[in-house]
Amino acid sequence: MKSAYKKVLSDKEKVVLIPFFKDYANVPAAYQQWLKDRSKAGILGGKRDEHLSLYLNAAGQPCKILFYCFGAEEEIKAKQIRSSLALAIKSLRQQPLPELALVLNNQFLKYSQEIGEALALSNYNTALFKTGQDRKEAEEKVIKKITIVSRDIDKVQKYNLEEGLKIGFAVNEIRDLINSPHNLVNEITFAKKAEEVCAKNKIRLKIFERRDLEKMKMGALLAVNGGSKHGAKLIVMEYLPLGRRQDPVVLVGKGVTFDTGGVNIKPTAGLAEMHMDMAGAAAVLGVFMLLRELEIQQNVIGIIPLTDNALDAGSQKPSDVITSYCGKTIEVGNTDAEGRLILADGISYALKNYKVSAIIDIATLTGACIVALGDQMAGLFGNNDQMKQRLKNAALETDEEVWEMPIHETHHKGLKGKFADLNNVDNSGMAGACTAAAFIEEFVDKTDWIHLDIAGPAMPKKPKDIDFQGATGFGVRLLTRFLQNIK
């Protein structure tokens, strides 16, 4: 979607969106009385998400104008701007929509970044693998050009709006990646995507293949990969704009490209969605699409342990004892608790090879987190209160919701192995969200650390207004804002 800017709404526009608050201040003078008359007639009540269409412009020429109410300005929040604008765009996209003019004044321009994000996120093309007429119709409903009509917009607001568009476009790319099935996005093709992203953004990239991982003795990742057709990989991305002047923040994303559950095979219900088990890895890759684009002045390392969890003669089995990259031994209590194993090796690699300031891991880790929190928010765990608060602040700003969860001493005690250092599940057989977080913490040492369990919001049953059925790209906006906010 291309963007353009102009000061005055012309008579040549075919589709126009005019958002307004109850005071009608954003409505061009030619249409204010028309709207006020309909308000007096009870057709409009000034409530959020009420809307009305007009099919002739002020010059009497054919033109669809959608007037969309955002409620009372004093009651509005940034997330509601994002949400209502997305609903308005989706409403217009019911018909072919090659171009759109969006009228904005200073009431709305204070939310420039949220507006940019909403424009991009609500313009997602869901016809990823459709063909023929279905694909043609879907592509006709994708906006090709957006024109911002405003006398008021300044350089900062334009910059913020364009930044929001960039963030939204990156999320859409990540949605495509997560929505793609395993035969199209697997260890090989995901690694190729990482190569493209790093080449485009001039980011240093290292990809360790299975033979490398064997030499490195990355036993936990290799154990999960035992039944796989494709060899495991470890992707390491280095964005270091500050050189040695700053210790990096490390982002570790769970990259299980398909999760059968292994020998502890998953039930049929939901199994077809398990290509989304790399949503954490995809979110990390999405952040790396944006670091240079947004000129983020933080050193950031991205680490993605990549494998599927397949069922084959070579698959790891319950009671197997494996040696992780850092040397700790692990009894496999449940082969479907594989994500924490590959994250353990990814985190250990970071601590061994970098002087780390903080670690955030992000993973579709446990169904238990969905049971606890539903599918609209991520579970937040960590060992540093200040860091957790900064993450919560970023969540409020981006509307990618998180809820803090506990890690108790009893969670750690329950992971003690009979014959090895650790078991990958609680010795009572529980594989809960807190237990999973405690297991990961065993590999963090004293480094400041956050764990995000995104099993729910990565692909919720009922998406938010800015999302569509399928992948949301959760975590890209959240982690990007977190990095932007670091002082």
Burial of 374 (0-12, 13-18, 19+ CB in 10 A): middle
Question: Quick check: 440 and 363 in contact, CB under 8 A?
Answer: no
Cβ partners under 8 Å of residue 66, min gap 6: 15, 16, 17, 18, 51, 52, 53, 88, 91, 92
What is the rounded average pLDDT of the residues 401-420?
A: 96
- The token duo for 205 is 């990239």
Q: Which of 266, 292, 317, 392 is catalytic?
A: 266
What is the end-to-end Cα distance of the chain in Å, rounded?
33
% of residues, the chain, pLDDT over 90: 95
Alpha-carbon torsion, ordered 127, 132, 138, 143, to 10 deg: 110
Q: Is pLDDT at 429 greater than 70 in this prediction? A: no
For residue 430, pLDDT beyond 80:
no
Helix (H) or strand (E) holding 256: strand 255-259
* 225 vs 271: CA distance, rounded Å: 18
Question: Amino acid identity, residue 307?
Answer: T
Reported as a pLDDT band with limits 50, 70 and 90, residue 428 is confident
Does the annotation mark 340 as catalytic? Answer: yes
164 neighbors 116 (Cβ within 8 angstroms): yes
**Residue (of 371, 384, 350) closest to 234 by Cα position:** 350
Structure tokens at 84: 């209502």
- Round to whole Å and give the CA distance between 57 and 51: 17
pLDDT at residue 431 above 80? no
Q: Which of 93, 166, 210, 340 is catalytic?
A: 340
Which of 372, 312, 315 lies closest to 338, judged by CA? Answer: 315
What CATH number labels 2-175? 3.40.220.10
**Per-residue pLDDT at 54:** 95
Q: Where are the domains of the chain?
A: 2-175, 185-485
pLDDT value, residue 350: 98
Q: In DSSP terms, which residues pair with 238 in a beta bridge?
A: 204, 301
* Token duo for residue 485: 């906010």
Kindly tell me if the per-residue pLDDT of 112 is higher than 90: yes
| Amino acid making up residue 280 | G
User: What is residue 487's predicted lDDT score, i.e. its pLDDT?
Assistant: 79
The answer for residues whose C-beta is within 8 angstroms of residue 431's C-beta and 6 or more apart is 334, 336, 337, 366, 368, 425
3-class SS of residue 302: strand
Element (H, E) at 166: helix 155-179
| DSSP 8-state assignment for residue 399 | T
Distance CA 84, CA 477 (A): 18
Whether this prediction's pTM lies above 0.85 is answered by yes
CATH dotted code for 185-485: 3.40.630.10
- At position 14, the amino acid (one-letter code) is K
Query: What percent of the chain stands above pLDDT 70?
Result: 99
* Separation CA 346–CA 329 (nearest Å): 15
Q: Which residue has the tokens 């297991």?
A: 439
DSSP tag of 247:
P
Q: What's the chain's average pLDDT?
A: 96
* C-alpha to C-alpha distance for 2 and 234, rounded to whole angstroms: 36
Instruction: Of 123, 121, 119, give the one whose Cα is nearest residue 108.
Output: 119
Confidence of residue 25 (pLDDT cuts 50, 70, 90): confident
